[in-house]
Amino acid sequence: MSESPARVAVVTGAARGIGAATAVRLAADGFAVAVLDLDEASTAGTVQAIEAAGGRALAVGADVGDAGQVQAAVDRVAAELGPPVVLVNNAGVTRDNLLFKMTDADWDLVMTVHLRGSFLMTRACQKHMVDAGWGRIVNLSSTSALGNRGQANYATAKAGLQGFTKTLAIELGRFGVTANAIAPGFIQTEMTKATAERIGRNWEEYVAERAAAIPVARAGVPEDIAHTVSFFVSEGAGFVSGQVVYVAGGPRT
Ligand code: NAP
């Protein structure tokens, strides 16, 4: 008897950080994973980690904000791995500044990557989910959606993703597709390292200070988020849709 092929997941921004940990986790859960990032070569480490553990991965280079690149990437995933029925919209950037110093370009880039990127990726993948009568969409929001000094652009995009998620849940539910959002708090990645650097803080001191304000008394790691993605994507989570889970070691830190 031949084994049925693995279901296919796409994780954006999966070269490093939360996306890389999520790609590795979904592969361990049995998915064939398209490891998508801006530069295909940058995904090599994630792809190797998946393959070394016996999983199946495909390196894909695409800018999620570019409609042509997104469609080409999703078409390639469908042709080479199979129809994508899981999508994790994780690719992200920050361009932090106080409102009066924020440039048009800072605003536009953050909206393009988080909002337009998630829209384009989801629109391209949903067809495969609807055809399969099964799908899982997970969007990366943030505790910044509740408001965060210096992040008018990012907080707006992350709040927008919550509305996007709830609308997807309403439109796609009848096709067996769920959509949920994860709002991480402070997670140790290159993104938060860059923030520490920008404000002139020593990384270890910065992590310790942030951890001290978190109810569970530690900073988050990418695997904390990957674990929650794994839950939303699981078969048993089919009645959970349109939800936002704050994964922050407390309500909002
Ligand atoms: P990260 O380490 O900076 O990784 C983000 C990845 O996204 C990078 O590999 C980046 O590629 C890629 N990317 C950026 N723009 C892209 C585009 N247009 N198309 C495709 N890929 C693109 O970030 P992270 O900390 O793991 O964060 C992952 C997600 O979680 C983001 O959505 C972030 O906003 C969210 N989040 C993070 C935290 C946290 O504390 N770390 C908290 C809340 C929410 P390049 O390196 O080439 O730019």
What are the pLDDT digits (tens) for 206-217?
999 999 999 999
3 C-alpha vs ligand 1 centroid, how far in Å? 35
Q: How confident is the model at residue 5 (pLDDT cuts 50, 70, 90)?
A: confident
Average of per-residue pLDDT across 60-80: 98
247 C-alpha vs ligand 1 centroid, how far in Å? 16
* H or E segment to which residue 168 belongs: helix 152-172
Task: Supply the pTM of this predicted model.
Answer: 0.98
Residue written as token pair 């939303």: 232
* H or E segment to which residue 16 belongs: none
pLDDT digits (tens, 9 = 90+) for 156-183: 999 999 999 999 999 999 999 999 999 9
Does ligand 1 lie within 6 Å of residue 160's CB atom?
Answer: no
Does ligand 1 lie within 6 Å of residue 195's CB atom?
Answer: no
3-state secondary structure of 100: helix
Atom of ligand 1 nearest to the CA of 141: 44
Q: Does domain 8-185+222-244 have CATH number 3.40.50.720?
A: yes
92 C-alpha vs ligand 1 centroid, how far in Å? 4
First to last CA, the chain: 50
29 C-alpha vs ligand 1 centroid, how far in Å? 22
Atom of ligand 1 nearest to the CA of 65: 18
Atom of ligand 1 nearest to the CA of 225: 30
E-strand spans in 62-195? Answer: 84-89, 135-140, 177-184
- In this predicted structure, the answer to whether residue 4 has a pLDDT above a threshold of 80 is no
Question: Whose C-alpha lies nearest to ligand 1, atom 10?
Answer: 13
206 is known as an active-site residue? no
3-state secondary structure of 96: coil
Boundaries of every domain in the chain: 8-185+222-244, 190-219
Q: How far is CA 171 from CA 98, 104, 141, 165, 177, in A?
A: 36, 32, 20, 10, 9
Does ligand 1 lie within 6 Å of residue 249's CB atom?
Answer: no
pLDDT of residue 201: 96
Give me the chain's average pLDDT, please.
97
pLDDT of residue 6: 83
- In this predicted structure, the answer to whether residue 70 has a pLDDT above a threshold of 60 is yes
pLDDT of residue 128: 98
- Which residue type is seen at 224? D
Does ligand 1 lie within 6 Å of residue 45's CB atom?
Answer: no
pLDDT of residue 2: 54
**Percentage of the chain with pLDDT > 90?**
97
Average of per-residue pLDDT across 52-66: 98
Average of per-residue pLDDT across 143-154: 97
